A and B are shown apart, each in its own frame.
Chain A
Amino acid sequence: GESVGLHLPTLSVQEGDNSIINCAYSNSASDYFIWYKQESGKGPQFIIDIRSNMDKRQGQRVTVLLNKTVKHLSLQIAATQPGDSAVYFCAENIYNQGGKLIFGQGTELSVKP
């Protein structure tokens, strides 16, 4: 069946360090993945996405890696800042089901100054 799960529910890092948030998915038919950041009291905010024909994509201070062999993706945040503290969700798009997003449980990132 479909499922998207996160390996670590909480992650605490020191300011300036790099953060890595992991996500596993089970449906090999998925072809689009998105990372969202959710701050307290707000809706999920798009960070970065990746299509299944890619294995790496970089943004500003963020990199998403996709390993289709083991159905795993990760979000790397460089030089983590206190403003990065939030809950991070990976989401899976099953294109042949009309584009609905299935979300993982979320990882809470806490950045210590």
Chain B
Amino acid sequence: DAGVIQSPRHEVTEMGQEVTLRCKPISGHDYLFWYRQTMMRGLELLIYFNNNVPIDDSGMPEDRFSAKMPNASFSTLKIQPSEPRDSAVYFCASSNQNLGYTFGSGTRLTVV
């Protein structure tokens, strides 16, 4: 298995632009998580899905952030409009029945 695949690896965008981050979980995993990592706040859970259904989005910072999981093999995290304070590394992780959490390599987002 190729593991959790995220794209792009790096994204630089101007303030106000829309940003879309993508994730392909491990086949057969029924949970998908989006995390954000910064020096100040560490690893924060933004949202997670179970069987493609959003379960807890309490970590999503504000309405500018949205996430979808249209099928078991794909998820997106969208920021619109982006702001400099959104600069961080965004990780996607997947797991099977609450165990075996595997992280992707992350997307480093820089908003200028």
Contact = CB atoms under 8 A, between A and B. Distances in A.
Contacts of A44: 43, 91, 103
Contacts of B45: 100-102
Q: Interface residue tally of chain B, by bracket?
A: 20 to 34
Interface in A9-65: 32, 34, 36, 42-46, 49
B22 to A, nearest CB: 15
Contact of B43 (A45, A98, A103): A103
A43 B106 contact: yes
B50 interface: yes
A54 B21 CA distance: 38
A100 B103 CA distance: 13
Contacts of B4: 43
Contact of A98 (B42, B48, B101, B103): B48
Interface of B: 4, 31, 33, 35, 42-43, 45, 48, 50, 55-56, 91, 93, 95, 97-106
Interface of A: 32, 34, 36, 42-46, 49, 89, 91, 93, 95, 97-106
